[in-house]
């Protein structure tokens, strides 16, 4: 956790709650002089004290991370750059390095961000020490590709997850690969665990593309930004770091579990409502070879 972000949040928490240094120091189990040294940068709060600070605020209905994210979004709403959010299970040390990103993600290697704080928080909620980074991203002079909730996106996710290797020479997949390979960044619906349970049914040939699209459209889909090139990374700047206390992490973890159940229920409903409407995946790709 960056010290400047802890100090910034500490001052906001004090202001919102209208408390003195003495009261906050007592609540955190430190001396007032120790608290002052944190603020001046003379010393750094331990991980346990950072946890105590954010827990103290969260239990008093101060959602400091949401507040910060909304303030940054308001601040950048009329600027060229867009505010996006990256969830990290271990934190970012040093410059963002594309070579260290996970090749098993939706579009393989890339730096993945969401357009909402809650998206990033849910993604890392199962980790014991999650971080969410608030970033600015300037798309000027970059080549972007956008996917919507449609058949092309479903096939792209299935292919990049390694499920459609037998169809790699189909016209549809060759075009998708060409578009993604030439892009600096992508904008696409987030395919989190809730979406995977739906998309997997489509990949396995259990539901049609229409059934899958309707099940996904009924969900609260958000969009993700996937930075693919170093040029895109250079256009991205970390504005602030958000620390999730255990209570906030549990809230988002429970939301994620509930959303997965909701996704499974929508698959069951879509099987009935859109039975025999649309095409199955083998029909789509065999026809494009």
pLDDT band with cut points at 50, 70 and 90 for residue 205: confident
In angstroms, the CA 223 to CA 188 distance is 5
How do residues 231-284 score in pLDDT, each as one tens digit? 999 999 999 999 999 999 999 888 877 776 776 777 677 777 887 788 888 888
- Please choose, from the candidates 191, 223, 245, the residue with its C-alpha nearest in 3D space to the C-alpha of residue 28: 245
pLDDT above 80 for 3: no
Contact between 17 and 62 under an 8 Å Cβ cutoff? The reply is: yes
Rg over CA atoms, the chain: 22
DSSP class of 69: H
Contact between 109 and 98 under an 8 Å Cβ cutoff? The reply is: yes
Q: How many CA atoms lie within 13 A of 289 on its CB side?
A: 12
| CATH classification for the domain delimited by 1-62, as one of 1.10.3470, 1.10.260, 2.60.40, 2.40.160 | 1.10.260
- Please choose, from the candidates 145, 157, 139, the residue with its C-alpha nearest in 3D space to the C-alpha of residue 233: 139
- C-alpha dihedral sign at 139, 140, 142, 148: positive
How do residues 119-178 score in pLDDT, each as one tens digit? 899 888 888 888 999 999 999 999 999 998 888 988 898 888 888 888 888 899 999 999
**pLDDT of res. 218:** 59
Please give the residue that has the higher pLDDT: either 15 or 201: 15
Q: Domain ranges in the chain? A: 1-62, 80-286
């Amino acid at each position: 956790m960056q010290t400047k972000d802890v100090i910034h949040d500490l001052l906001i928490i004090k202001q919102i709650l209208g408390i003195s240094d003495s009261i906050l120091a007592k609540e955190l189990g430190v001396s007032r002089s120790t608290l002052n040294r944190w603020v001046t940068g003379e010393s750094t709060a331990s991980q346990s004290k950072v946890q105590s600070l954010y827990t103290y605020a969260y239990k008093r209905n101060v959602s400091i991370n949401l507040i910060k994210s909304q303030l940054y979004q308001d601040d950048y709403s009329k600027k060229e750059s867009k505010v996006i959010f990256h969830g990290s299970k271990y934190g970012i040390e040093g410059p963002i390095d594309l070579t260290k990103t996970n090749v098993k993600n939706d579009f393989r290697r890339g730096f993945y961000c969401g357009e909402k704080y809650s998206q990033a928080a849910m993604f890392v909620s199962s980790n014991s020490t999650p971080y969410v980074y608030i970033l600015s991203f300037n798309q000027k002079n970059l080549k972007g590709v956008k996917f919507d909730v449609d058949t092309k996106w479903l096939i792209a996710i299935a292919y990049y997850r390694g499920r459609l290797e037998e169809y790699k020479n189909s016209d549809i997949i060759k075009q998708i690969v060409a578009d993604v390979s030439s892009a600096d960044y992508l904008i696409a619906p987030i395919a989190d665990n809730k979406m995977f349970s739906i998309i997997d049914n489509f990949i396995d040939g259990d539901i049609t593309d229409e059934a899958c699209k309707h099940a996904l459209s009924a969900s609260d889909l958000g969009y993700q930004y996937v930075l693919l090139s170093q040029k895109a990374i250079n256009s991205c700047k970390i504005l602030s770091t958000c620390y999730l206390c255990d209570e906030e992490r549990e809230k988002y973890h429970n939301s994620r579990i509930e959303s997965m159940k909701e996704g499974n229920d929508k698959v069951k409903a879509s099987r009935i409502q859109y039975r025999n409407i649309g095409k199955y995946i083998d029909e789509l790709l065999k026809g494009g070879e």
